[in-house]
Amino acid sequence: MMETQKTVHGAWSSRFAFILAATGSAVGLGNIWKFPYITGENGGGAFVLVYLFCVLLIGIPIMIAETMLGRRSQRNPIETMQILTEEAGADKNWHYLGWMGVIAGLLILSYYSVIAGWASAYVFKAFAGSFFDADAKEIKTIFNNFVGSPIQLIFWHSLFMLATMLIVVRGINNGLEKATQYLMPSLFVLMFLLVGYAMTTGSYFQGLQFLFIPDFSKLTSNSVLTAMGHAFFTLSLGMGAIMVYGSYLPKNISIAKTAFLIAGADTIVALLAGIAIFPIVFANNLHPNSGPGLIFETLPIAFGSMTGGWLMGILFFVMLTIAALTSSISLIEPAVAWLVENKGFSREKACAWTGGLTWVLGLGTVFSFNVWSDVTFFERTIFQLLDYLTANLMLPIGGFCIAIFAGWMMKSQHSAEELDMPTQAGYDAWKLLISYVAPAAVFFVFLHVVGVL
Ligand code: PHE
């Protein structure tokens, strides 16, 4: 049955293409924009340590599981869950997992696109020389004036959504594969150059200390939840993005090895971003906890004062925008693949509907930075609420269910066959992590947050 349905579903041209696309999905605003500001808000080192543990013990096993589920069914996440539930003889309700993922993807994209719009707007600010010799105060004013303007935010949000839709319309092989090929290496180089600048600020070691010396007294249960949620967010886990990419993966490729590669690259980019940003924060007497504006209030100071800063500023924001694009397409792809494969939509129509819906939702985030900045639910603005709901709740819950499904519902014979690990010990280690460690960790953190533990 699976074979005959495969016709409309694409396939990657090689293992390398999959690695590029999955890394493209993982590396994005989460690494460069979000990781530094939530690290700043949650007190630094201890938070980073928890995040790293979560990547290793929860993230990587779940990434392996998610890729495996997708590849086994070779369908979109909703159908994947239906097909594999049948194969495992499990309860029908498991397919709601696919649904939750599709919804989480669109909700995330709604605010992701707004922030990516900021990055694209900053390309032009950098080009216009707005940061030239500007001090921290001037840079902050530029940022505040910008996010204070709903019209400007809507303009850039619209442009970014449009770009996402244009790439997704073209399907995986044409649009996606090419975009990532040059991006990752260039991004690495640029991050290293920024770290080089950070070394000259005089506060380099203070920055490193903040990032890497844990002070556990700063850790609340909510910070632990945020760190865990971020491990899911930054690796694109728990909502089907990696599942849908896995579904395009040819059968003869080792899943475990690629998961380590992808998670490794993703973590390095995030740490480099932190190492570049915090010294600038301290050198300019800024606050680490200044929120979502952090990179927009710090990095332009570097671009405005360093040699070659004009060009670097432009390149940096161009790359940040492209990195966001290669993530945004994976946020929308599960929904589009489902509409095309199950509802008979053309790719164009599917993109138009999902993109349109997401655009409208994104207006909530746009206004939460200006005209609706006082509108709060549970003491959170619309943007903060969406972020909390998706990254801290939906993704970990999705990941938890994926772990339970892969570890307990699916027959070991099937998972072993699909993963085809080089050693039995490797498989056993994965099985232990996915059946016990990952789900227990997520459960434990949740219990802690609601105050049971
Ligand atoms: N991983 C992406 C980032 O760090 C965001 C993302 C989350 C993409 C979930 C897909 C799914 O920017």
Q: pLDDT by residue (tens digit) across 129-144?
A: 999 999 999 999 999 9
pLDDT class of 450 with cuts at 50, 70, 90: confident
The alpha carbon of 21 and the centre of ligand 1 are apart by a number of angstroms equal to 12
CB of 23 closer than 6 angstroms to any ligand 1 atom: no
pLDDT of residue 172: 61
CB of 239 closer than 6 angstroms to any ligand 1 atom: yes
Distances (CA, A) of 434 to 60, 94, 202, 211, 407: 9, 17, 44, 29, 6
The alpha carbon of 236 and the centre of ligand 1 are apart by a number of angstroms equal to 4
pLDDT class of 182 with cuts at 50, 70, 90: confident
Answer yes or no: is pLDDT of 319 > 70. yes
For the CA of 330, the closest atom of ligand 1 is 10
Answer yes or no: is pLDDT of 5 > 50. no
The alpha carbon of 29 and the centre of ligand 1 are apart by a number of angstroms equal to 8
The alpha carbon of 23 and the centre of ligand 1 are apart by a number of angstroms equal to 10
The 3-state secondary structure of 309-346 reads HHHHHHHHHHHHHHHHHHHHHHHHHHHHHHHHHHCCCC
For the CA of 323, the closest atom of ligand 1 is 12
Whether 421 contacts 41, CB under 8 Å: no
Answer yes or no: is pLDDT of 114 > 80. yes
User: Mean per-residue pLDDT for 267-288?
Assistant: 95
Within 13 Å, how many C-alpha atoms sit on residue 105's CB side? Answer: 32
Burial status of residue 453 (CB atoms within 10 A of its CB: 0-12, 13-18, 19 or more): exposed
Mean pLDDT over each residue of the chain, to the nearest integer: 92
* Residue to mutate (ligand 1; options 331, 336, 393; most atoms within 8 A of CB): 331
Q: pLDDT by residue (tens digit) across 400-432?
A: 999 999 999 999 999 999 999 989 999 999 999
Answer yes or no: is pLDDT of 6 > 50. no
For the CA of 30, the closest atom of ligand 1 is 4
For the CA of 266, the closest atom of ligand 1 is 4
pLDDT of residue 96: 87
Enumerate domains of the chain plus CATH numbers: 15-449 (1.10.4160)
Ligand 1, atom 6: closest residue by C-alpha: 236
Ligand 1, atom 11: closest residue by C-alpha: 236
Ligand 1, atom 9: closest residue by C-alpha: 236
- Predicted TM-score (pTM) of this structure: 0.94
* Residue to mutate (ligand 1; options 184, 327, 393; most atoms within 8 A of CB): 327
CB of 330 closer than 6 angstroms to any ligand 1 atom: yes
Q: pLDDT by residue (tens digit) across 189-246?
A: 889 999 999 999 999 999 999 999 999 999 999 999 999 999 999 999 999 999 988 9
* Residue to mutate (ligand 1; options 106, 330, 397; most atoms within 8 A of CB): 330
